[in-house]
Amino acid sequence: MELAPIGFYVVISLLLSLILIGVSFLGAGSGPEKVSAYECGFDPFDDARNRFEIRFYLVSILFIIFDLEVTFFFPWAISLKWIDLFGFWSMIVFFLILTIGFFYEWRQGALDWHSSPIDRGA
Amino acid sequence: MTYSFLLLIRTLGMLISLLLGIAFLVLAERKVMASMQRRRGPDVVGLFGVLQPLADGGKLILKEPVLPSSANVFLFLLAPVMTFMLGLVAWAVIPFDYGMVYSDYDAGMLYLLAISSVGVYSLIMAGWSSNSKYAFLGSLRSAAQMISYEVSLGLIVITVFLCAGSCNLTDIVLAQRALWFIIPLFPVSIMFLLSCLAETNRAPFDLPEAEAELVAGYNVEYSSMGFALFFLGEYANMILMSSLCTLLLLGGWLPVYPLGLRRLPRIPCTWFIMKVLLLLFVYIWVRAAFPRYRYDQLMSLGWTVFLPLSLAWVVLVSGALLAFDWLA
């Protein structure tokens, strides 16, 4: 029952945002010089959908792993009172495996932003 | 009928007061920063510049919205709408005082974490759909920064869950009646505050904005209301993160009574608002006082300091609570 007002709230705030962005389009359109992508005064050389640094990708992969771990921790944290020592130790085993993985990544240089992992042959 | 009408009134009340709060936070930031730099700040519009945010808003609405020719129009327009909407939507579960909450949702804290995770999508959408190199690089940086600090934020929230035994925000505050969680969880509280700064892309972690190298980050191509919505969403998130800090660690609306002032009449929300304002002042103070971090330092702080420390704290707190039978 608590979710119904939240749904209503979401709809109203979506409407508000759409109205606000819609209002700005009531004025005149823009000229041809303004609509090219911004690149310090000259015309853009090429498309921006280019190659990018692999480490951003690596960070997002690591994020998925750790966020899953955190998500797995939530129900455990709430119910620790009822699951006792067995529940506690099973989580600690899971946690240790992940920590070993984490230190492996760290040693491999996945968390190192000074030099690229490819440079060091990792 | 009456129910939905009342709901509409409540929703509008929340949204309008939130928008006013954001507007005056912007003004407060400019005023406080000005005082710290021995300037006057905005003081022309209205008395002491009080109407400045309204003038700024009016100006931004009247500006011409530019749609870059190479942009994906749908995503380009959806991104600011989504940022602003998520900034507002998160407030539905924040309790301002006992019983003063829009929706007393049992998984309130999980709802907030979910909302803040979705926030990353709008940044990526903005950067990618603008089809501009600066915007693209800025959005990559912002996204990587936000997700890096979200992990340690989540782990710190888990230590609070362990101490409170609930993820309902009202219950978390009530669990702090004897002792605010900032005292037993002091080291992680500091980390939580810093992660909040990084999560909202604020100084000293405002690298996405780095005006010297990336002009303005993911929102370079936005003008008019698109820009304003990003801006407002960012400030709504700032207030949200301060309230979250207050609720999780500083005892929410629970009062402090120094010097035996217990007999003063209790006005609802006062303590909550005072704590939030204090944290917001810290946000602004930090921006005025500290230089910007370097990107590799930022990432290594998140992954090699905050993450291992907060992991260790989860184990320590859960072990201690279990060993001494202190679980709530």
B131 and A CB contact within 8 Å: yes
- Please name which of A2, A41, A52, A100 lies closest in space to residue B92, comparing C-alpha atoms: A2
Residues linked to residue B97 through DSSP beta bridges, in sequence order? B100
Number of other residues whose CB lies within 10 A of the CB of residue B311: 22
Read off the pLDDT of residues B143-161 as tens digits, 9 standing for 90 and up: 888 898 999 899 999 999 9
A122: pLDDT confidence band, cut at 50, 70 and 90?
A: very low
Q: What is the DSSP letter of B302?
A: I
B97 SS3 class: strand
Q: In 3-state terms, chain B is what percent helix, strand and coil (to 5)?
A: 70, 0, 30
Q: Tell me how far apart the alpha carbons of residues A25 and B72 are, in angstroms, rounded to a whole number.
A: 17
Angstrom distance (rounded) from CA B82 to CA B126? 10
Shortest CA distance from A116: residue in chain B: B296
Residue labelled with tokens 């990353």:
B120
- 3-state SS class at A96: helix
Distance CA(B314)–CA(B188), nearest Å, equals: 10
Q: Do A44 and B132 touch (CB under 8 A)?
A: yes
Beta bridge partners of B100: B97
Residue among B95, B274, B103, B276 at smallest CA distance from B173 = B95
CB contacts under 8 A, B 48-87 vs A, are: 60-71, 77, 80-82, 84-85
Closest by CA position to B185, among listed B166, B158, B217, B159: B159
How many whole angstroms separate alpha carbon B14 and alpha carbon B102? 8
Which value does ipTM take for this structure? 0.85
* Cβ-Cβ contacts under 8 Å, A73 against chain B: 154-155, 158, 314
Say if residues B153 and B199 touch (Cβ distance below 8 Å): yes
**Band (A28; pLDDT cuts 50, 70, 90):** low
Where along chain A do its domains lie?
53-110
Question: B204 preceded by cis ω (within 30°)?
Answer: yes
Summarize pLDDT for A55-111 with one digit per residue, the tens: 888 888 888 888 888 888 999 998 888 888 898 999 999 989 988 988 888 888 777
pLDDT bracket for residue A27 (50, 70, 90)? low
Determine contact: B303 vs chain A, CB below 8 A.
yes
Residues of chain B with pLDDT under 70: 208, 210-215, 258-264, 328
Instruction: State whether B165 and A81 contact (CB < 8 Å).
Output: yes
What count of other Cβ atoms lies within 10 Å of the Cβ of residue A120?
A: 10
Q: How far is A87 from chain B (nearest CA, A)?
A: 11
Q: A112 contacts in B (CB within 8 Å)?
A: 300
Q: Do B161 and A78 touch (CB under 8 A)?
A: yes
pLDDT one-digit tens code per residue, B20-56: 999 999 999 999 999 999 998 888 888 888 888 888 8
**What is the Cα gyration radius of chain A?**
25
